[in-house]
């Protein structure tokens, strides 16, 4: 059970109104809520999720403000403070869930959006390492080893209260990030925020086109990069946690790319399990049906099942039957591997 939806400061100047995760009071209230949920539902729920994509909604709210997520105020300090508070809240909620789950079977994880980071040039290798740490490994290091870099300056402090606060890890994967060093005329707010993503890769491509690497892109302009899923699984394998792929999907209203997307990504999961010995416990496609996609509303269609929003009619897309076949066999049939090749979407 996922017990948190993104809570944001709503006031545009961050001075009035509810402050969300900028307020330490939210830590207290969230911990109380987690305890209550465990007390009421612990006999029915064994797997608990404290937060879904904490790095995403804090980064989008205070750094990447053009994405349309509230409060959309560029404030690097607010990004740092909110994520610090979220880490503390997770640790306290972990203890509360363990204490108040009546049957003692609570397994608690966090769902983390991952996007492996690659350098544009060899000169960008160091900043790519910084970006990978900030976006991918920082919070998981904290919740496993108890090492936390609160100010994003590359200096870790010991936080025993954060150590060993994960029983499993959920990974949401959609695409990669390619970065380059931030131009010298740009301000540097912390030592590790010294990079910028490069347009034409990852989520910064033109819709229904090709990336700079000649890979097809989705309706939302996201590059299809299945190798990044395996790279992410290998990277997080070092934390010795069972891994669930909790989201992996594509905006594709016409279902032109979804079969390729599903087959190519599941093939990479298979390779991570068979060749890299990663413990992957499950794979969840995003999503079963077309749905409300946050700042994109109903425009982007991720569903295996098409929804006519006027009549509410549901129609399975062809990709739904492909995933059904994979699930029923609990394997990737050899005849489907042909779909892992890049389709020509521009023909």
- A 10 A CB-CB count for 63 gives 16
Residue 223 designated active-site: no
Question: Can you tell me the distance from the alpha carbon of 199 to that of 281, in angstroms, rounded to the nearest whole number?
Answer: 34
What's the rounded Cα separation, in Å, for the pair 247 and 224? 14
Active-site pick, 53, 141, 181, 267: 53
Strand partners, 306: 315
CB 17 within 8 A of CB 10: yes
| Alpha-carbon dihedral sign for residues 102, 41, 53, 109 | positive
Q: What is the largest CA-CA distance in the chain?
A: 59
CA-to-CA dists, residue 39 to 33, 44, 93, 95, 96, angstroms: 10, 10, 13, 13, 10
Q: How far apart are CA 264 and CA 223, in angstroms?
A: 13
Query: What is the spatial distance between Cα 24 and Cα 38, in angstroms, rounded to a whole number?
Result: 22
Q: Is 293 a catalytic residue?
A: no
- Which residue among 181, 223, 247, 267 is the active-site one? 247
Nearest to residue 3, comparing CAs of 138, 134, 128, 96?
A: 96
Tokens 């910028």 appear where?
A: 196
Active site residues: 53, 247
């Amino acid at each position: 059970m996922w017990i948190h939806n993104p809570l944001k400061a709503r006031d545009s100047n961050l001075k009035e109104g509810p402050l969300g995760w900028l307020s330490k009071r939210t830590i207290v209230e969230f911990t109380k809520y987690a305890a209550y949920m465990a007390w009421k539902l612990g006999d029915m729920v064994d797997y608990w999720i404290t937060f879904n994509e904490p790095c995403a909604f804090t980064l989008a709210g205070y750094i990447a403000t053009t994405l349309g997520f509230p409060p959309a105020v560029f404030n690097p300090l607010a990004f740092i403070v909110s994520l610090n508070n979220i880490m503390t809240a997770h640790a306290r909620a972990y203890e509360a869930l363990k204490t108040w789950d009546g049957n003692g079977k609570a397994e608690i994880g966090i769902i983390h959006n991952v996007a492996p980071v690659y350098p544009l040039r060899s000169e960008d290798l160091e900043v790519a390492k910084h970006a990978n740490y900030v976006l991918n490994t920082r919070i998981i290091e904290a919740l496993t080893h108890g090492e936390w870099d609160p100010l994003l300056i590359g200096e870790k402090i010991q936080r025993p209260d954060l150590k060993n606060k994960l029983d499993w890890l959920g990974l949401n994967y959609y695409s990669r990030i390619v970065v380059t060093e931030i131009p010298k005329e740009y301000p540097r707010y912390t030592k590790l925020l010294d990079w910028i993503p490069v347009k034409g890769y990852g989520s910064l491509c033109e819709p229904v086109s090709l990336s700079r690497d000649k890979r097809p892109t989705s309706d939302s302009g996201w590059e299809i990069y299945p190798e990044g899923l395996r790279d992410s699984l290998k990277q997080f394998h070092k934390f010795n946690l069972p891994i669930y792929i909790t989201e992996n999907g594509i905006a594709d209203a016409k279902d032109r790319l979804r079969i390729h997307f599903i087959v190519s990504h599941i093939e990479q999961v298979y390779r991570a399990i068979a060749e890299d010995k990663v413990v992957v416990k499950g794979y969840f496609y995003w999503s079963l049906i077309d749905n409300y996609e946050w700042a994109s509303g109903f425009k982007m269609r991720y569903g295996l099942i098409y929804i006519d929003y006027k009549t509410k009619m549901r129609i399975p897309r062809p990709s739904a039957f492909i995933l059904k076949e994979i699930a029923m066999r609990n394997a990737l049939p050899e005849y489907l591997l042909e779909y892992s090749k890049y389709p020509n979407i521009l023909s």
